[in-house]
Chains A and B, each alone.
Chain A
Amino acid sequence: MPNPKRRHSRRRTRTRRAHDFLKPKSLSTCPQCHEAKLPHRACLKCGYYKGREVIAVKDVL
């Protein structure tokens, strides 16, 4: 079976991993309660979406 010929340096490993990170969630603001919420989702803080109440908030805790 093929095997690595040389061990990688720490630098090489870390350079490769430099791009391995979590990106922050992009959030929008609820027009109803001004809370941060996921875009295109109902606001689970106030239960509103597109200007009308769509869900009772305590149901989705």
Chain B
Amino acid sequence: MRHGMANRKLGRKSAHRNAMFRNQLASMIDHERIITTLIKAKELRPQIEKMVTLGKEDSIHGRRLAARIVPDETLIQKLFTNISPRFVERPGGYTRIIKLGPRRGDGAEMAILEFVDFKFEDEKKAAAAPAAKKSKAKKPADEAEDETAEAKPKKTASKKAASKKAAPKKSKAEKPKEKKAAKKKSEK
């Protein structure tokens, strides 16, 4: 009997698992695209889609339901006023999963989860500007190592730097201080 086995446990207790998904949902609303393992992406997809659907009919009740999952006013605001309105015509299927292949280390299949109207080119442009600023401004910080690795990727990139970079494409799009947080989230 496979009754009541609808979701994967992902090797976690429910509190751990729910906390992880809340994190990822927040990241997804914030960045509109996350890189994670394929299995987590598949588990997360129905959850984020349900939140988008909640946002389609902008009601106080809906907002409160959404805020129970992602207790962040600004993110809920973004979901209800920016993300969901983009999908009013679309009866579900707001996200896509792009497989990336196995990652180094544990060989877990990685994937991108993004909204279907995500424009990679925009993100790339946005990433270009802060990245240039960052490399000049943040030299003395502990991320100096990261910076050099990014500047001349192939040669000096130590294994450590490489695995760090393996985390999220996200990080580059973000402001520097958000970098670590974003990394953590999308790595989960």
Contacts and interface: CB of A to CB of B under 8 A. Distances in A.
Q: Do A and B come from one complex?
A: yes
Interface in B58-80: none
Contacts of A46: none
Interface of B: 35, 98-101, 110, 112, 120-121, 124, 127, 150, 153, 157, 162, 165-166, 168-169, 172
B99 A59 contact: no
A33 interface: no
26 contacts: A38-B99, A40-B99, A41-B99, A41-B100, A42-B99, A42-B100, A42-B112, A44-B100, A49-B98, A53-B120, A53-B121, A54-B98, A54-B112, A54-B120, A55-B35, A55-B112, A55-B169, A56-B127, A56-B169, A56-B172, A58-B150, A59-B165, A59-B168, A59-B172, A60-B100, A61-B153
Contacts of A52: 120
- Residue among B99, B150, B172 having the largest count of chain A Cβ atoms under 10 Å: B99
A42 to B, nearest CB: 5
B121 A55 contact: no
A56 B100 contact: no
Interface of A: 38, 40-42, 44, 49, 52-56, 58-61
A5 to B, nearest CB: 41
With most chain B CB atoms within 10 A of its CB, the pick from A49, A53, A54 is A54
A50 to B, nearest CB: 8
Contacts of A58: 150, 153, 165
A15 B168 CA distance: 47
Contact of A61 (B124, B165, B172): B165
A53 B169 CA distance: 13
A38 to B, nearest CB: 5
A60 B157 CA distance: 13
Contacts of B150: 58
A49 B114 CA distance: 14
Nearest to B168: A59
Contacts of A61: 153, 157, 162, 165-166
Contacts of A38: 99, 101
B169 A60 contact: yes
